[in-house]
């Protein structure tokens, strides 16, 4: 199972771009990389998922280098409402079933 | 569209009392189902997962149990709660065909054991 490592916390200011990196050195061939956002007392919410290179949607971009041993979630022009915990999840379809283990997450604090 | 609901949202229970948390998924068939627990200020701990009716796998051996009596119903139980069972319990589902890590979470149930 691929273990993930993220910074415990990050600070940013409104309007800045924020990049959160996740390390997953033992990622398997079948594994996808998924990022979640969690607000206090709520369940995590899916942000973006990728397998390799770059993926972009309406809220974020995900950069994955060729070796796939890390990934970077990029949040453009953050606002106060982006203050949350962000989790990187690595997993994929195995021959049977895959269990998903979340890391400790990165607490992003956006300041005015 | 698919939805997932958990209840109760909040409960306070004395040590030694039983527990039953329920999770229901609508709008999909044969989902994979998960129970996670989150202690205050911590990450998510996988407790149980299920790939079908009556099929439960436990990740953390403790005084909790799970059951899946129907395809889209997942129940977390305990016969006697411990103080350490306090936390935020989250139910989640994903599509059995993809199973790539795109999980959909419920609103959560906050349990306080006194």
Domain that holds residue A36: 9-94
For chains A and B, CB pairs below 8 A equal: 67
What is the pLDDT at residue A93? 60
Say which residue, B100 or B109, is predicted with more confidence. Answer: B109
Q: What mean pLDDT comes out for the span A25-47?
A: 92
Residue of B59, B103, B108 lying closest to A42 (CB–CB): B108
Provide the pLDDT for residue B105.
95
Cβ-Cβ contacts under 8 Å, A46 against chain B: 102-104
Contact B63, B17 (CB under 8 A): no
Residue B95 sits at φ, ψ, to 5 deg, of -75, 130
Range of the domain at B22: 3-113
Q: What share of chain A is helix, strand, coil (3-state, %, to 5)?
A: 5, 50, 50
What CATH number corresponds to the domain at position A71? 2.60.40.10
For residue A105, tell me if it sits in a domain: no
pLDDT, tens digit (0-9, with 9 covering 90-100), for A44-101: 999 999 999 899 999 999 999 999 999 999 999 999 999 999 999 988 665 456 677 7
Between A64-78, B22-36, B92-106, the lowest mean confidence (pLDDT) is in B92-106
Which three-class secondary structure string do you get for chain B?
Answer: CCEEEEECCEEEECCCCCEEEEEEEECCCCCEEEEEEECCCCCEEEEEEEEECCEEEECCCCCEEEEEEECCEEEEEECCCCHHHCEEEEEEEECCCCCCCCCEECCCEEEEEC
Give me the mean pLDDT over the B81-88 stretch.
95
Is the CB of B103 inside 8 Å of chain A's CB atoms? yes
What's the number of domains chain B is made of?
A: 1
State the pLDDT confidence band at B61, using cuts at 50, 70 and 90. low
Q: How far is A76 from chain B (nearest CA, A)?
A: 22
Specify if A112 maps to a domain.
Answer: no
Q: Per the structure block, which two tokens stand in for A38?
A: 């969690």
Stretch B31-48: mean pLDDT, rounded? 90
The CATH number covering residue B52 comes to: 2.60.40.10
Q: Do the chains contact at B101 and A87, CB–CB below 8 Å?
A: no
Whether residue B104 lies within 8 A of chain A, CB to CB, comes out as: yes
Cβ contact (<8 Å) for A43 and B42?
no
Position with higher pLDDT, A99 vs A33? A33
* Mean pLDDT for the stretch of residues B47-65: 88
In residues, how long is chain B? 114
pLDDT at A11 over 90: yes
What's the confidence (pLDDT) of residue B20?
A: 97
Nearest to A34 among B32, B49, B101 (CB): B101
Mean pLDDT for B47-68 is 89
- Count of domains forming chain A: 1
Retrieve residue B61's tokens.
């051996």
Measured between CA atoms, the residue of chain B closest to residue A99 is B49
- Helix (H) or strand (E) holding A38, with range, is strand A31-38
């Amino acid at each position: 199972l691929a273990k993930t490592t993220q910074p415990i916390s990050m600070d940013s200011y409104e309007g800045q771009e924020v990049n959160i990196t996740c390390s997953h050195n033992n990622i398997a061939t079948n594994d996808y990389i998924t990022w979640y956002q969690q607000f206090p007392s709520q369940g995590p919410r899916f942000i973006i998922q990728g397998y390799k290179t770059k993926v972009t949607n309406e809220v974020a971009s995900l950069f994955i280098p060729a070796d796939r041993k890390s990934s970077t979630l990029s949040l453009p022009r953050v606002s106060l409402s982006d203050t949350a915990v962000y989790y990187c999840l690595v997993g994929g379809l195995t021959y049977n079933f895959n269990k998903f283990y979340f890391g400790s997450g990165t607490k992003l604090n956006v300041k005015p | 569209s698919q939805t997932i609901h958990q209840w109760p949202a909040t409960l306070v229970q004395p040590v030694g009392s039983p527990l039953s948390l329920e999770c229901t998924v609508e709008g999909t068939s044969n989902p994979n189902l998960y129970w996670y627990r989150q202690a205050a200020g911590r990450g998510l701990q996988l407790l149980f997962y299920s790939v079908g009716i009556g099929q439960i796998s436990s990740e953390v051996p403790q005084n909790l149990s799970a059951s899946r009596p129907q395809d889209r119903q997942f129940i977390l139980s305990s016969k006697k709660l411990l103080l350490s069972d306090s936390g935020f319990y989250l139910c989640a589902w994903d599509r059995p065909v993809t199973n790539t890590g795109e999980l959909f979470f419920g609103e959560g149930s906050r349990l306080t054991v006194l």
